[in-house]
């Protein structure tokens, strides 16, 4: 049974840019009340039904407090989009990969997703079930780098591999609460994160995508988030959304 988003509560991290911003738009379009979190909340477009807050997802207490203080609607959907994509070689020109960069990627991408998952699931578990026993859905954002990480992506790939790996155990554990957990593993999407990459890298990745030969657009990601809410049989899965792209080294 699908999750009716009209009037339902949703939380989106990384809602100020790229995939999170497109998800926020899509949820508002479906009539959801949304708690929009971002490290840079000024980027979040103000509109009716949206509460924007500045939160670092790596700070578990801050994520928990943001959710605890938001009472606009029963929380039925949580979407983790906040993320960073540092690149660095293990053996670089200036020496070994610095461990602070590696740690920050894991803290934001993996631990940040975990913080949203645990806080949102706790809120959802306390709600009365819907007619089919469902209480809510958590969607996280992995990456195809979890499977085909490229050179200089050790930190990013490790963090996204963790996001993908926690999907099934989380879905198994939360099944008794009627909470589904799905991860989306995007290929290459045209967002400010990708805009930071050199043009030849962006063009090469678009050209390497079998079909269509272009980067994904954020609205296509948001469409899949909505489908995760809509399709009540989708659970415990990591869904690649990549135009068939398999990244080379
Ligand atoms: N764009 C792609 O091609 C692509 C591919 C695969 C996976 N992803 C993943 O999708 C997610 C969104 O990426 P995007 O392309 O939209 O990036 P983006 O840079 O456009 O947006 C990311 C947002 O997250 C916020 N953010 C960063 N660190 C944060 C923190 N510690 N706490 C709260 N907010 C924080 C940023 O302020 C920004 O608004 C990321 O997890 C990224 O790794 C993106």
Which of left, alpha, beta for 150 (phi over 0: left; psi -120 to 50: alpha)?
A: beta
Q: Express each pLDDT in 123-136 by its tens digit.
A: 999 999 999 999 99
Does the beta carbon of 141 lie inside 6 Å of ligand 1? yes
| Calpha distance 76→67 (Å, rounded) | 12
Break the chain into its structural domains and give their ranges: 9-241
9-241 has CATH 3.30.2270.10 classification: no
C-alpha of residue 77 to centroid of ligand 1, in Å: 18
Q: Is 37 exposed, middle or buried (0-12, 13-18, 19+ CB in 10 A)?
A: buried
Q: Express each pLDDT in 95-124 by its tens digit.
A: 999 999 999 999 999 999 999 999 999 999
In the structure encoding, which two tokens stand for residue 69, read together?
A: 């203080």
| Calpha distance 123→69 (Å, rounded) | 11
Average of per-residue pLDDT values in the chain: 96
Q: What is the pLDDT of residue 46?
A: 87
| Calpha distance 173→185 (Å, rounded) | 21
pLDDT at 18 over 80: yes
| Calpha distance 111→222 (Å, rounded) | 22
Q: 18-29 and 218-230 helices cross at what angle (nearest 10)?
A: 50
Does the beta carbon of 149 lie inside 6 Å of ligand 1? no
pTM of the predicted structure, to 2 decimals: 0.98
Q: What is the pLDDT of residue 15?
A: 98
pLDDT at 1 over 90: no
Other Cβ atoms less than 10 A from the Cβ of 46: the count is: 10
Does the beta carbon of 192 lie inside 6 Å of ligand 1? yes
Let me know if 156 is a catalytic residue. yes
Q: Would you place residue 8 in the very low, low, confident or very high pLDDT band (cuts 50, 70, 90)?
A: very high
Q: What is the pLDDT of residue 77?
A: 98
Does the beta carbon of 163 lie inside 6 Å of ligand 1? no
| Calpha distance 85→97 (Å, rounded) | 15
Contact between 209 and 140 (Cβ < 8 Å) = no
| Calpha distance 211→217 (Å, rounded) | 14
Catalytic residue among 114, 156, 189, 221: 156
């Amino acid at each position: 049974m699908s999750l009716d988003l009209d009037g339902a509560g949703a939380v989106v991290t990384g809602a100020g840019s790229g995939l999170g911003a497109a998800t926020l738009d899509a949820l508002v379009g479906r009539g959801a009340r949304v708690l929009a979190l971002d490290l840079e909340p000024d980027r979040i477009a103000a509109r009716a039904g949206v509460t924007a807050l500045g939160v670092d997802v790596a700070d578990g207490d801050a994520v928990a407090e943001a959710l605890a203080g938001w009472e606009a609607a029963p929380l039925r959907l949580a979407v983790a989009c906040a993320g960073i994509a540092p690149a660095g070689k293990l053996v670089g020109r200036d020496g070994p990969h610095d461990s602070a960069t590696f740690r920050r990627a894991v803290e934001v991408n993996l631990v940040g997703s975990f913080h949203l998952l645990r806080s949102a699931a706790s809120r959802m578990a306390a709600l009365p079930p819907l007619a089919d026993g469902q209480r809510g859905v958590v969607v996280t954002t992995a990456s195809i780098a979890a499977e085909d990480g490229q050179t200089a992506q050790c930190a990013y790939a490790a963090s996204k591999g963790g996001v993908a790996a926690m999907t099934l155990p989380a879905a198994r554990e939360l099944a008794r609460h009627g909470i589904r957990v799905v991860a989306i593993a995007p290929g290459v999407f045209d967002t400010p994160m990708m805009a930071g990459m050199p043009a030849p890298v962006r063009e090469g990745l678009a050209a390497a995508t079998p079909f269509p030969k272009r980067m994904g657009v954020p609205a296509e990601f948001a469409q899949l988030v909505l489908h995760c809410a809509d399709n009540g049989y989708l659970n415990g899965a990591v869904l690649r959304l990549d135009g068939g792209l398999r990244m080379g080294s």
